[in-house]
């Protein structure tokens, strides 16, 4: 069984060597461990330092394309290299490399497709009270949308089985963390989590500049993923709110106009009836959008299934070719 540990990097010259040195060299149940650095347009010599530190593979993206694109490109490249398990960690050495053994164990035992390393949120020395509350609330929201039980949805320290990598599709430009959970939970993958340790902070986050930007980007990402993977629930929920408002106004009109009518009153209730019509029409529009979304989602799932099967065929053939090359080389050495 082959494990590839990938590290998306953008100007991590100061920490990449230590990150690589902390990675495990052997794990029970794993026959081969290789390291992959995804260079996301670094300009500070990150790749040279990584190569001197003994990294096995380097994937250059050329320009800075963002964490989600770097992760997705690395995952595809790892599959082409014959990875049976993929672990993603950060180039700033945020996560404890020794805990990779805990991450991959459920996959080795075939008890999970994806394993998320959960940080100690409440005891995290770098998180203030506001960030702890946002992390807990955000993870709770993700659990509802993704139908998983992961306690730390924002953690990028994760392990993926080969089958999970073949079935994942990253659409977000911000971060893959939330999308992979929502996609996995809504497509029947088994997602579990383990408690992991963290190292002292080495730099500020590059995903966001401040708490407000983090909240904005995370909220936008959650809503877009909710809309993409559960369009029916998204539109039906808002549609029910409009129908509820229309029902309330309608009942109020019946009560005032027919149950307790005032013969001396000249009220026509036309504004209320206009508002009732608007709310009812908006509710119907959202209902129809939900139906269209469900149909589109069914088509998207079918296309993703087709592409997933093509990936499996392509990368399984590639893996067999790599095994044949290794066997041939070993036979030549023996001779």
Residue pair 15/202 in contact by the 8 Å Cβ criterion = yes
Can you read off the two tokens belonging to residue 251?
A: 């009942």
For strands 114-118 and 32-39, give the pairing: unpaired
* pLDDT for 327: 44
CATH topology of domain 2-229: Spore Coat Polysaccharide Biosynthesis Protein SpsA; Chain A (3.90.550)
Structural tokens at position 274 = 């206009």
The two tokens of residue 186 are 């809504």
DSSP letter, residue 99? G
Domain boundaries, the chain: 2-229, 231-334
pLDDT tens per residue, the chain (335 residues)? 899 999 999 989 989 999 999 999 999 999 999 999 999 999 988 999 999 998 999 999 988 888 889 999 999 999 989 899 999 999 888 899 999 999 999 999 999 999 999 988 777 776 778 777 877 887 888 888 888 888 888 888 999 999 999 888 887 776 788 888 888 888 889 999 999 998 887 777 666 666 677 777 777 777 777 777 788 888 898 899 999 999 999 998 888 888 887 766 667 788 889 999 999 999 999 999 999 988 888 887 788 778 877 777 776 665 555 544 544 555 455 44
Q: Which residues of 57-66 are buried (b: 16+ CB within 10 A; e: fewer)?
A: bbbebeeebb
3-state secondary structure of 255: helix
**Are the beta carbons of 160 and 86 closer than 8 angstroms?**
yes
Question: What is the crossing angle of helices 129-146 and 176-186, to 10°?
Answer: 30
**Strand pairing partners for 37?**
7, 58
The first and second tokens of residue 9, run together, are 């990097």
* pLDDT in the model for residue 266: 66
- Residue 288: CB partners within 8 Å, gap ≥ 6? none
Using CA atoms, how far apart are residues 328 and 47, in angstroms rounded to an integer? Answer: 31
- pLDDT of amino acid 318: 57
CB 170, CB 180: distance < 8 Å:
yes
* pTM of this structure: 0.76
Q: Looking at residue 321, what is its pLDDT?
A: 55
Whole-angstrom distance, CA of residue 189 vs CA of residue 55: 31
DSSP-derived letter for residue 97 is: G
The whole-number pLDDT of residue 174 equals 67
**C-alpha–C-alpha distance, residues 162 and 185, integer Å:** 17
In 3D, which of 91, 68, 87, 60 has the Cα closest to residue 203? 91
How far is 270 from 262, CA to CA, in rounded Å? 16
């Amino acid at each position: 069984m082959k494990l590839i540990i990938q590290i998306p990097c953008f100007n991590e010259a100061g920490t990449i060597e230590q990150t690589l040195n902390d990675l495990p060299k052997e794990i029970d149940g794993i026959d081969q461990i290789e390291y992959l650095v995804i260079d996301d347009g670094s300009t500070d010599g990150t790749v040279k330092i990584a190569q001197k530190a003994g990294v096995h593979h380097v994937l250059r993206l050329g320009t800075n394309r963002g964490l989600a694109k770097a992760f997705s490109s690395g995952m595809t490249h790892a599959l082409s290299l014959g990875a049976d398990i993929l672990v993603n960690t950060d180039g700033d050495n945020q996560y404890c490399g020794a805990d990779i053994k805990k991450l991959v164990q459920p996959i080795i035992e075939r008890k999970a497709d994806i394993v998320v390393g959960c940080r100690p949120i409440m005891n995290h020395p770098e998180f203030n009270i506001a960030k702890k509350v946002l992390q807990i609330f955000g993870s709770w929201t993700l659990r509802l949308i993704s139908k998983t039980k992961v306690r730390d949805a924002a953690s990028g320290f994760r392990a993926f089985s080969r089958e999970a990598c073949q079935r994942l599709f990253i659409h977000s430009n911000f971060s893959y963390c939330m999308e992979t959970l929502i996609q996995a939970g809504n497509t029947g993958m088994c997602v579990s989590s383990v408690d992991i340790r963290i190292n002292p902070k080495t730099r500020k986050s590059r995903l966001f500049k401040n708490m407000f930007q983090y909240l904005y980007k995370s909220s936008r990402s959650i809503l877009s993923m909710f809309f993409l993977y559960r369009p029916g629930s998204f539109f039906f929920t808002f549609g029910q709110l409009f129908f509820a408002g229309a029902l309330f106004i309608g009942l109020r009109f019946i009560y005032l106009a027919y149950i307790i009518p005032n013969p001396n009153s000249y009220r026509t209730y036309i504004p209320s009836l206009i508002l009732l019509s608007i709310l009812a029409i908006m509710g119907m529009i959202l209902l129809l959008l939900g139906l269209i979304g469900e149909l589109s989602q069914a088509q998207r799932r079918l296309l993703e299934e087709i592409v997933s099967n093509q990936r499996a065929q392509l990368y399984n053939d590639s893996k067999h070719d790599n095994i044949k090359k290794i066997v041939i080389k070993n036979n030549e050495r023996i001779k």
